[in-house]
Structure 1
């Protein structure tokens, strides 16, 4: 489960990300709650989320082209430092009582700009640290890292917000970037797996898009995570609304929902680390279960039932994320990985600016339950549709058989016409 941590460079990267990811989750919780406190609007929380992910939607592909051209470690040093400065600036404004909602909007957009390069650089840098043999394990441990921070960060943020205010959460996040920057500086360059960088030239963006378009094993997983990222992962909008309007649980309830979802996500990440390969059928099944569980949670009659359902939602959501990420990375040529992962992150993360304001408006207009149901229905329907398309592309068909009075559904190879012809 933890085999890639034997590699020194990856171990330094992993430890730095533990600290930084904890700060990132603290800032996310504090940012959402600050906006809700300043405006009283779920739509405003959606706008904040949209601004943070809008740069990925607008410039994500260009970020991938840059990452394929640039050395990954220096690029990460720049992006991590930029995000640290943004957190410190927001902390100063909040602690001095000068913060306004437009300050949060600007900070969210600035973090989004840094993420345009940071995300594909971090994704593709993993293979340079561990090599192809440990890529599956390292990608899964990265997700476990992120989700363990998600487990700790919201809990600490909830205590800080209720105890001393949101500004201290922003300050911790700004200072947390010292750890990954130090880890990057301490790495041994000679132990990295060298990847030939793409030369500067015209048409590299179109080349990346053509590469993905000609590969069903790449394009359909990316389309699936696009639907789920746009409509199914708007938890800042839904969970703030459920905590504030439905269950009247305040910041503590919002923190609890995020913490329980993180427990499930951490379990899902560790299960993925044990899994030998990233199978597309696991991706489709996880996506369908994720959407179905969102619908069930939206209709939950009690606070504690809703809270408990965050755990399996976290498991399924993380299964979708890790399986899609690993499958796409392992199927991609190293020279194209920056552009392909930029497209992956642009679709998965960058779809949120399109979905968050719409989901926020629906939540404000029709209530949190309707907004949550919508996200679940779209996620489940997209999983079923794309699962059938992937099966068709792989020469499979759906077969239903009855065994001991119960239906068993599975995909089997499609019979070819010549197999059906009578023997001469």
Structure 2
């Protein structure tokens, strides 16, 4: 009740946050359409799971290469300006991709080109999107604003994939590989491009307040600016440990989710609709987890670190069960549970990280997080695509779940993860330990 009242009050008093939240809603919804459409497009054009893995890797690699530069630009200039340019580039790319798909002129090599372009633009939108909220709302309103933004993402995960799956199925005539089969996919990309256009409009109406300490005190070179962000994370052992641990978990989980899930959905005989339902179930769970986090923000299994370990252990076990499903409802039920745990964990970890980092370093630190994840993700998707040539999707999910459990046990026994505490129990980064 408190969260809802506080959110209404924030929306009522803060015009800037209304524009930011509105733009985030339409953009997040559009992203889910492309999330469903892109892997389905590759499978329709090529029928090759390795090609799917390589396309996803082609989009992920430039994100990893340029995300540190994106974070440095955010800290040197303006999160709004960087986000505006990145969203505009995504809009043009998606409109172009939609046009080629709908005209029947698309070839596989073109998908690689668009994946590369989308990866580059996303490298700049991720750190700017992560850093813009503290620059829009007052510090006292930050927890409520963060929960609202994360709630938007989780809601889009729930609603968007199902709508995308229905759209693709509705406008496809079932002729394998034909123009009718890809018509719905092209419309999904068109919808995403339109969502970016609306997001750009919202950002142009956003007025950023000047705040002291938001910019670096000296005009260092871009390399020096990036290096400062890396050193900041390395010096803070708690941040560094959690980032490395998260990257290891991502390697085991991201590839199967992005590559094996659409293949598994196809084996369940319901195609894009089944894929949308599975992703939507995860999104529904994420909404529930975010709601639980807002209602019980101080609930922990001891501390933040032990909570992360416990939740990841359970998710690993659920992944192993996901490998044994033979019906759509079973997969949806397991992903609902995974999403609930993920939504809760994401909320508390995101707030912990954002509050721990000094405001003038936030863009660079968030870009370091993304860099570590994005180096791992393309490797995971490429490996998963190659493995699916010789193993079943269920086997890949079972193996990835087992690896997640092994990583959790190693982190619990051999790292400082179990000692990762809430900020109320330790000084923020950069302050001397007692």
Indicate whether the TM-score tops 0.5: yes
**More displaced stretch, 1-10 vs 125-134:** 1-10
Cα 1:258/1:357, change in 2 over 3 Å: same
Q: 2:226 — aligned with what?
A: 205
- CA deviation vs aligned residue, 1:61-96 (integer Å, no higher than 9, x gap): 222222111111111111110100111000100110
Q: 1:10 — aligned with what?
A: 17
Contact conserved, 2:241 with 2:417, CA < 8 A, in 1?
A: no
- 1:36 is paired with a residue whose SS is helix
- 1:205 is paired with a residue whose SS is helix
Q: 2:291 — aligned with what?
A: 270
- 2:104 is paired with a residue whose SS is coil
**Residues in 2 aligned to 1:56 and 1:383: alpha-carbon distance in whole angstroms:** 27
- Cα offset, 1:145, TM superposition: 0.5
**Residues in 1 aligned to 2:109 and 2:287: alpha-carbon distance in whole angstroms:** 34
- CA deviation vs aligned residue, 1:294-315 (integer Å, no higher than 9, x gap): 1111123443222211100111
Q: 1:407 — aligned with what?
A: none
**More displaced stretch, 334-343 vs 275-284:** 275-284
Contact conserved, 1:57 with 1:346, CA < 8 A, in 2?
A: yes
- 1:381 is paired with a residue whose SS is helix
Contact conserved, 1:291 with 1:380, CA < 8 A, in 2?
A: yes
Q: 1:242 — aligned with what?
A: 264
- CA deviation vs aligned residue, 1:383-411 (integer Å, no higher than 9, x gap): 3333442256569xxxxxxxxxxxxxxxx
4+ residue segments displaced more than 4 Å? 192-195, 391-395
**More displaced stretch, 158-167 vs 272-281:** 272-281
1:157 to 164, 171, 174: 164
- 1:366 is paired with a residue whose SS is coil
Task: Give the total of aligned pairs.
Answer: 393
Q: 1:328 — aligned with what?
A: 353
Q: 2:393 — aligned with what?
A: 368
Q: 2:175 — aligned with what?
A: none
Cα 1:391/1:341, change in 2 over 3 Å: closer
CA RMSD of aligned residues (A): 2.1
Q: 1:260 — aligned with what?
A: 281
Give 1:99-118 correspondences, 5 Å limit. Answer: 99-118=106-125
Unaligned runs of 5+ in 2: 172-183, 422-434
- CA deviation vs aligned residue, 1:324-375 (integer Å, no higher than 9, x gap): 3222221111111111100111223442111101012112211111211222
Unaligned runs of 5+ in 1: 396-424
1:303 to 328, 338, 356: 328
2:248 to 219, 224, 227: 227
Q: Does 1:55 align with 2:62?
A: yes
**Residues in 2 aligned to 1:242 and 1:194: alpha-carbon distance in whole angstroms:** 51
Normalised by the length of structure 2, the TM-score is 0.85
- 2:158 is paired with a residue whose SS is helix
- CA deviation vs aligned residue, 1:182-230 (integer Å, no higher than 9, x gap): 222222334x655421243142322222221121221122112212222
**Residues in 1 aligned to 2:213 and 2:63: alpha-carbon distance in whole angstroms:** 24
Q: Does 1:286 align with 2:311?
A: yes
- CA deviation vs aligned residue, 1:164-188 (integer Å, no higher than 9, x gap): 2211111111111122222222223
**More displaced stretch, 52-61 vs 381-390:** 381-390
2:79 to 72, 77, 100: 72
Cα 1:200/1:387, change in 2 over 3 Å: farther
